[in-house]
Amino acid sequence: MNSSPNILFLLADQLGARWLPVYGHSVVSTPQLERFARQSTVFERAITTAPVCTPYRGCLLSGLYPSQTSLLENGQAFPTDVKSLARHLNERGYATHYLGKWHLSGAPQENRWVPPQSRAGFQNFIGWESHHVDHYSGLIWKDNPENAIHMPGHETDALTDLAIRQLEKCARADAPFFLTLSYQAPHPPCAPPEAYAQLYDNPALATEPNADPSAWFKHEAWRADYDVERFRQLYFAEISHLDAAIGRLLSALERLGMCDNTLVVFTSDHGEMAGAHGLFGKGMMYEEALHVPLLIRAPAQSVGSRTNFPVSTIDFMPTLLDYAGGQIEPDFEGISLRPHIEEQSAEVDRIVISEYHNFCATSRQWKLVTDGRTLAVDSLYDIAEDPYELNNRLEDPACASIQEELSRTLARWHDRVVLESAKAKALPAH
């Protein structure tokens, strides 16, 4: 029997760390995640490598930056010539399962079947490509494109039920499992059960220093047209509803006796602005979109800890393969977080890089953002002193040395990742 631990990877969609009590929010109710955090390592500076769905998911499954996989925008397909995380784990004897939203099989970006050749090597797949606008009429597919399965009730509950049934099957199997459960919640348009919406029947939810009380959310295709307070009522309610679902899932893991041999990861692909700086959505390098939750509970771990060591999406591949007993290849872009999870590593600082329509270099305290996909600096923030990013320190002489350090690190990364990838893709085939 394989002694490698099971891996349960729980992925929320568009959930910023800003909006969770684990990271200091005083209004949102998430008792299950708070309980889980007390048993886990909480990464306080987890930064998405790309603050948008498809590029993030490509990074998660490849261990490469978007520039290296060419997954730079939503609606692109995972490249067939890149060895995915699932394929690495298949080789190590894992049964690999995927449940939920995929967003990696290319156009069209619709609620549709994902063909087997587009599933990045997952052995068992039940999901859909993208865009459940109505959370009560979601469809999901397995092996037959003509046999869409209607998910009863709210899709968050239905997905959780599917995952619990899958865990029950895994408990009877000999092979270790890697199960990714990809929720669409709390991605707008939000449609939480009414009981959760009533938790936030409060006219004063947008109170942070960078919140714009006049911000208005309008999206015709989603039939959304309301102010920031209504947006937050629905968004926060989706978070609380998701929290309850996570609690059910973790209880099932405990009931099945699998906690001592299962690594559990809870995170999100990116955040949501939710009216901060007058903005909604993602794709920006502000903290609300860039800073994501990351809670990891090692097998048999029962006592929690916190670390502000900066980490990135790029670190998942080496971390999960480290726990799976696989070789961590020297050309992996990220690092294994296992020493930080098991408290064997001294606290040091680090600069992590994000890319989308801008580049961003983030350390424990500082963040530098460029003007578009250039190396020209647009903004510099002291996140420790100014967490709401109200004071751009770009012209401050006292910050010249840190700006130079961040710019130098970003330039080296740009030369190695962006320019070298572009050159490699431009070479003629032989």
371-380 pLDDT, tens per residue?
999 999 999 9
pTM confidence score: 0.96
**Alpha carbon separation from 165 to 86, 144, 155, 257, 323 (Å, rounded):** 21, 20, 15, 15, 24
Residues 6+ apart with CB under 8 A from 429: none
- Which one, of 317, 200, 242, lies nearest residue 14 by Cα? 242
Residues 6+ apart with CB under 8 A from 48: 56, 268, 269, 270, 271, 289, 290, 291, 292, 312, 313, 354
386-427 pLDDT, tens per residue?
999 999 999 899 999 999 999 999 999 999 999 998 888 876
CA 39, 44, 47, 51 torsion-angle sign: positive
In the chain, the domains with their CATH numbers are 6-341 (3.40.720.10), 352-426 (3.30.1120.10)
- Does the structure show a pLDDT above 50 at 61? yes
Decide: helix, strand or coil at residue 8: strand
Q: Looking at this protein, which amino acid is placed at residue 169?
A: K
Residue range 249-271: average pLDDT? 97
Higher-confidence position of 133 and 352: 352
Yes or no: say if 247 and 253 are a contact pair by the CB < 8 Å rule: no
pLDDT at 136: 92
pLDDT at 427: 60
155-169 pLDDT, tens per residue?
999 999 999 999 999
pLDDT at 1: 37
- Does the structure show a pLDDT above 80 at 2? no
- Residue 379: strand pairing partners: 369
Q: Looking at this protein, which amino acid is placed at residue 3?
A: S
Mean pLDDT value across the chain = 94
Torsions phi, psi for 46 (to 5 deg): -90, 125
197-223 pLDDT, tens per residue?
999 997 789 999 999 999 999 999 888
pLDDT at 202: 79
Residue range 365-373: average pLDDT? 98
Identify the band that residue 428 occupies on the pLDDT scale cut at 50, 70 and 90.
Answer: low
pLDDT at 326: 67
pLDDT at 424: 83
- As a whole-number percent, the residues of the chain with pLDDT over 90 amount to 89
324-339 pLDDT, tens per residue?
986 777 678 999 999 9
pLDDT at 328: 73
Residue range 232-252: average pLDDT? 98
